[in-house]
Amino acid sequence: MLTRPLQSLVLAAALLSASAHAAYPDKPIHLIVPWAAGGSTDAVARAIAQRMGETMGTTVVVDNRSGASGRIGTEAAAKAPPDGYTINIIELPHAIAPAVLLKVPYDLLRDFTPVSMIGTSPLMLFVNSSQYKTGDIKGFIADGRASKKPWPIAHSGNGSISHLSGELFAAASRIKIDAIPYRGSAPALTDVAAGLVVGHFSTLASGASLLSAGKLSALVVTGSSRFAGMPDVPTASEVGIPGMQFNQWWAVVAPATTPVEIVQRLNKEVLAALAHPGTRERLNALNIELKGSSPTELRSFMRSEVAHWAEVARKAGVIPE
């Protein structure tokens, strides 16, 4: 049995902890985006952060920390204090990384507490509009096969979904490519538009502005169906490219051991942001299908994705580098 002084001390600590959680948040929250500004993940983060800031009564700062295929920013989030003031956006490449990279400076399933799923979107192959018209994937493949040199295809870093997409596409279409790493889709697509590289796989959210400006064309989509707003762009399966029916996805996580009360509050705020008409309109326009979740549902999804891509890599004979 605790002595009276110890009982008082325990009670005081409990009250202090409860008070601290009740006051949350009382300073800005940093939402780390492990990619360069201007890409799809950045667009998702800014839409969510804006609405969360409005409802939580504080500023939610979008903190872009690009580099090393998303590992620099994600490692920073994993090592941040578990107090709810640093959260992180993870996505499909985070589940792929353990299967294709020898050294990942964090464990996705051990070092993070799931908050909520955000949504999904297929990828598209973007090329320079002066070279190919929208939907002309057959012409692209024919030219690629005829090329005497490997075609420079941009990607967002080793182990990224754009990297994997390019390699899968090259193998299935029998095109030799030179995979060129960038710090994110935004700079990669800028160079595609400038004619410095041939193409890049990314979401519509990343390519929308250059596409609408007439500087890019979209040739093929990885999803199971065509975009409603871009009916001339065929799916990979339609043009005989197998193994490319997958979607990019995004989710919010916090450092491991973040208090349950704070995780629940963050989950509530993310779901509210996703339900807001302004957020939905903003992200649906980029062909992002919003899919909120509970922390438990997200944890299960993360486990299944890590296991799935490990099996894909094993069957493909991928040797981690």
Residue limits of CATH 3.40.190.150 in the chain: 27-120+248-316
CATH superfamily of 27-120+248-316: Bordetella uptake gene, domain 1 (3.40.190.150)
Assess whether pLDDT exceeds 70 at residue 290: yes
pLDDT the model gives residue 158: 76
Of 17-26, 65-74, 98-107, 157-166, least confident by mean pLDDT is 17-26
Task: State the pLDDT confidence band at 22, using cuts at 50, 70 and 90.
Answer: low
Residue limits of CATH 3.40.190.10 in the chain: 122-239
CATH class of 122-239: alpha beta
Assess whether pLDDT exceeds 60 at residue 16: no
Assess whether pLDDT exceeds 90 at residue 85: yes
pLDDT the model gives residue 184: 84
pLDDT the model gives residue 236: 92
Does the pTM surpass 0.95? The reply is no
Assess whether pLDDT exceeds 80 at residue 174: yes
pLDDT tens for 262-281 read: 999 999 999 999 999 999 99
Assess whether pLDDT exceeds 80 at residue 126: yes
The three state secondary structure string of the chain is: CCCHHHHHHHHHHHHHHHHHHHHCCCCCEEEEECCCCCCHHHHHHHHHHHHHHHHHCCCEEEEECCCHHHHHHHHHHHHCCCCCCEEEEEEHHHHHHHHHCCCCCCCCCCCEEEEEEEEEEEEEEEEECCCCCCCCHHHHHHHHHHCCCCEEEEECCCCCHHHHHHHHHHHHHCCCEEEEECCCHHHHHHHHHCCCCCEEEEEHHHHHHHHHCCCEEEEEECCCCCCCCCCCCCECHHHCCCCCCCEEEEEEEEECCCCHHHHHHHHHHHHHHHHCHHHHHHHHCCCCEECCCCHHHHHHHHHHHHHHHHHHHHHHCCCCC
Assess whether pLDDT exceeds 60 at residue 237: yes
Mean pLDDT value across residues 69-96: 95
pLDDT tens for 57-68 read: 999 999 999 888
